[in-house]
Amino acid sequence: MDGAMERANRSIGQMFWALIKPDQKNWVEKSPLIEFAINSSIGNTMGLALFEINYGYMPTVMREMRTTERTPPGVRTFTQNALKNMTLVHDALIKDRIFQQKYANKR
């Protein structure tokens, strides 16, 4: 494997580590959120996310939840969990990027 693929695999592993419970029983439910985070991350080479390359636009995520009687509770809960998990994944990616930069600068 080349260095870029190894770094990508390490980043994915760190995202799973940040989101999955110690008993590792919730990895299946977290996988779509990690996939979404990866596909919406802007790459260094082209300056575009995979969503932009494949579909021509970036997907939007509900930034604020409006509490109306018409919104089913399941949708509200899913959106709140998705936003919380995306924040955790974002923080894990930043932490990994800082680690990689320090490691690269040592060489």
pLDDT digits (tens, 9 = 90+) for 28-86: 888 888 888 888 877 776 777 888 777 777 777 644 545 555 667 777 777 777 777 77
> What is the number of other CB atoms lying within 10 angstroms of the CB of residue 81?
13
- State pTM to two decimals: 0.51
Q: What is the DSSP string of 49-77?
A: BHHHHHHSSPPP--SS----TTS-HHHHH
Look at the chain and report how many structural domains it folds into: 1
The two three-digit tokens of residue 88, written as one number: 């955790």
Using the structure block, give the residue that is written with the tokens 């693929």. Answer: 5
Asked if residues 68 and 42 have their Cβ atoms less than 8 Å apart, the reply is no
User: What is the extent of the structural domain holding 96?
Assistant: 3-106
